[in-house]
Structure 1
């Protein structure tokens, strides 16, 4: 059982998250706090695995709170749940010691997956933020010249379809479900795409799709 402590100054949001998490058999909400100070007081007597915490809070905000958490409760994982999507906020919280960052507009499936991921000690970044950062990298990276750019025609129709879905952040399993085929088949398509485009990673694949105008088709 993963013990979760909710920290947000909006009671209605805490109530909603508690109700949704109560439907998960492996997650238990062990307490609620309206700000960082209340959180630290609760942790004294409340064994907790994951703190699901906002940044903008009265009395003690997320930035100040996480410093105390890292000093006093280094084994407690922090998953930021915020509407702040700017990369500066994400970087500051992760740099300060948060294990994950998810936006409040994420669906419950992503939030519960994030909780389980950080509870296991693995970092988590929600899909929306991850893709935004990836696209910024793509836009600021020099695109290949016409002389060096692989020709779009080298990819088959199905490979182009798979490439577009990869660019949307979908996993091999999700693409397989969408295209009604096996994960192994998608892995084969992905490998063929990598070989044809000479892309070394997902960011390079997205850069290829952007440079060839495939994301708008």
Structure 2
């Protein structure tokens, strides 16, 4: 089984590599941000990608969404400190096969990777089983829609809000996303209206609060 590990903390990546070294799981690559994950996955075509949500340049949620479009057979396991139910729903919708909290025991990570490889879903035991039930109800249209917020943003708006919070200017964002400056301004205006945000400082606070970026 071939795996790529993605986390913006070098010590975390090295620790995970050491943990998996004594198993039948082969770590074929590692990455420190979402865009590097996509590049390495395209080159190496791993069986499973294990990644955090809070990563620079492109967060794990959007990286998952893009990865599943380009490599639908590759499984994605989210390994993060965030236990927010909204993130669980969104990563499942994006195509992830599992969601594990970083404080989980090492054996749970190994079990989660193997479960994902088998085509099964795996949730951290600390996340209530009702999360899956609620997600399935939402997918079937049996529950009320989620309130406006992060889920109201388009994938591109989520990329833009992260890059704004990371300090990039509109021209820099346009260059990184390969879109026009006008398009960036439109996305910026739309996301601010949806989230009722009024300036860059509020956008940054929102991104930190929701875990799109980390402050460490």
Measured against the shorter chain, the TM-score band is 0.5 to 0.7
Give the C-alpha shift of residue 121 in structure 1.
0.3
Which of 97, 101, 119 is 1:99 aligned to? 97
Q: Which residue of structure 1 lines up, in the alignment, with residue 2 of structure 2?
A: 3
Deviation of 1:44 (Å): 2.3
- Higher RCO, Cα 8 Å, sep 6+: 2
SS at match of 1:105: coil
Greater C-alpha radius of gyration: 1
**Runs of 4+ in structure 1 over 4 Å off:** 131-134
Structure 2: 5+ residue runs without aligned partners?
Answer: 135-216
Distance 2:100 2:129 in 1: 13
Could you say which residue in structure 2 is the equivalent of 1:89? Answer: 87
Counterparts of 1:162-181 in structure 2 under 5 Å?
A: none
Question: Does 1:12 find its partner at 2:11?
Answer: yes
Contact persistence 2:49–2:77 (CA under 8 A)? yes
- Contact 2:45–2:71 under 8 Å retained in 1: no
* 1:117-149 CA-partner distances (Å, limit 9, x unpaired): 000000111111135859x9xxxxxxxxxxxxx
Give RMSD over aligned pairs. 1.6
Is the 2:98–2:112 contact (alpha carbons within 8 Å) kept by the matching residues of 1?
yes
User: Map of 1:61-210 to 2, 5 A cutoff?
Assistant: 61-130=59-128, 133=131
Gaps in structure 1 of 5+ consecutive residues: 137-217
Do the aligned partners of residues 133 and 75 (structure 1) sit closer, same or farther apart at CA in structure 2, a change above 3 Å counting?
A: closer
TM-score by length of 1: 0.59
Aligned counterparts of 1:120 and 1:46: Cα–Cα separation in 2: 19
CA–CA separation in structure 2 for the residues paired with 1:72 and 1:125 = 24
TM-score (normalizing by structure 2): 0.59
DSSP-derived class of the 1:51 partner: strand
